[in-house]
Structure 1
């Protein structure tokens, strides 16, 4: 009987540790590399607002000129994103927020983190399909991505969905950093967590503004004209 109890106990410990490390990996990948890529993506897209098609295309070209760019994308973006997203859905499914009983800020953020996580995962899949996969299939070029975005955001319904997507992603990113700092023992104590909360929520607002301005910029006719010019050059060269 004692041996059986020890086996059950050890099995329970292993399962607990497995879940512990799975969550830690999920949390870590959310910051490194995904949060870093999210910031880079925000800056690249903000180039559309600051400098139009030329600035945006220059940012896209800079990334795609990196050596072994496909390997870097798979290892540093797609695989971490797949794990973080799928395991995040599992966490969201298991979540039991108590906002109905307690209206505390942390409980609300706990709920929003999981809701925005689901929205962000769906949005990212859609966005990658509309952009990166279309490039991989040869339907568009990197230089035409601005035009692709123009075609999407000039449709009111899709523009609204993109707004929901980027704002959800921005909150999930910023609040995820705050949660990471707490769960990894970096911000210990109420004061440190309160200060980091202010910083992260400020970051949420700033990144959201950058993405919204980028979407507005993609609606400009110059992004449509840039695509027409590229198509004209290609037809002449061919």
Structure 2
């Protein structure tokens, strides 16, 4: 962000460096690795339902599922609290109208994307992970999610926006991580880092939207439609949405 765009905040109100480093570290190391792995696993949808089911919903060890959930949720909760604290009035002071710079625009979009991703992840974790296991005793069936992607417009729209927000929030967050950990310090080094962030954003977006396309395409096949009907019948659901 340009030095002209910065708003002076008393030292007592600034986020301590240790908290900033911890918040950025938890976002980049465990969460980013999990996001990349999760998007990669979902690309198995191009190879059919069985391949997707194995890659996304099955675990090799009985405790692996619980361990993965804790490994993701604990850093996510810490990062979420850290991010929400930074949105307090004494910490969050956007000045885009007075200083309409590129850095300021990224700053406000990063915060907006974070809130959107928070809502998206909450719904996704419940609907695609917790509800199938807690309510129906199994992982999310491929036919169920593929059908929703193809025939329920709000689902594909929300997932497309959710992937877009996640890709941007993660890729742009790499610059914050680099600053907090001293990897980049000058405005020149920040400009050099920019292409890397853009590249990460495009790769993540391509992976996520590619997986959604594969699910959407599969959802229109007769095999998925019939399998989804059997799933709904077994669950005792007689109407859609």
Please, what TM-score do these two structures have when normalized by structure 2? Answer: 0.79
CA–CA separation in structure 1 for the residues paired with 2:72 and 2:227: 27
Structure with the largest fraction of helix = 1
Moved more, 131-140 or 175-184: 131-140
Contact 1:131 1:148 in 2 (8 A): no
What does the per-residue CA deviation read over 1:49-101, in whole Å, with 9 as the maximum and x for residues that have no partner?
x3222331231256x21462144224310111111123212213442121111
Secondary structure of the residue that 2:48 maps to in structure 1? helix
Query: Given the alignment of the two structures, is residue 183 of structure 1 paired with residue 180 of structure 2, yes or no?
Result: yes
CA–CA separation in structure 1 for the residues paired with 2:131 and 2:75: 21
Secondary structure of the residue that 2:87 maps to in structure 1? helix
CA–CA separation in structure 2 for the residues paired with 1:29 and 1:152: 32
- Structure 2: gaps of 5 or more residues: 1-9, 235-241
Secondary structure of the residue that 1:117 maps to in structure 2? helix
CA–CA separation in structure 1 for the residues paired with 2:71 and 2:87: 24
Find the structure with the greater CA-based Rg: 1
CA–CA separation in structure 1 for the residues paired with 2:189 and 2:226: 48
The residue number in structure 1 matching 2:26 is 29
Return the offset for 1:147.
2.4
Return the offset for 1:178.
1.8
CA 131–226 in structure 1, closer or farther in 2 if over 3 Å, else same: farther
The residue number in structure 2 matching 1:89 is 84
Please, what TM-score do these two structures have when normalized by structure 1? Answer: 0.80
- Count of equivalent residues: 217
CA–CA separation in structure 2 for the residues paired with 1:224 and 1:140: 20
Secondary structure of the residue that 2:183 maps to in structure 1? coil
CA RMSD of aligned residues (A): 2.7
CA–CA separation in structure 2 for the residues paired with 1:227 and 1:81: 34
CA 18–165 in structure 1, closer or farther in 2 if over 3 Å, else same: closer
The residue number in structure 2 matching 1:148 is 144
CA–CA separation in structure 2 for the residues paired with 1:59 and 1:72: 17
The residue number in structure 1 matching 2:238 is none
Instruction: Please point out which of 90, 112, 115 is paired with 1:115.
Output: 112
- Give matches, 1:13-52, under 5 Å: 19-48=16-45, 50-52=46-48
Stretches of 4+ aligned residues off by more than 6 angstroms: 15-18
CA 86–148 in structure 1, closer or farther in 2 if over 3 Å, else same: farther
Query: Given the alignment of the two structures, is residue 79 of structure 1 paired with residue 74 of structure 2, yes or no?
Result: yes
- Structure 1: gaps of 5 or more residues: 1-11
Contact 1:53 1:226 in 2 (8 A): no
CA–CA separation in structure 1 for the residues paired with 2:137 and 2:128: 8
Return the offset for 1:142.
2.5
Secondary structure of the residue that 1:216 maps to in structure 2? helix
Contact 2:113 2:168 in 1 (8 A): yes
Secondary structure of the residue that 1:114 maps to in structure 2? helix
CA–CA separation in structure 2 for the residues paired with 1:177 and 1:52: 33
Return the offset for 1:152.
3.0
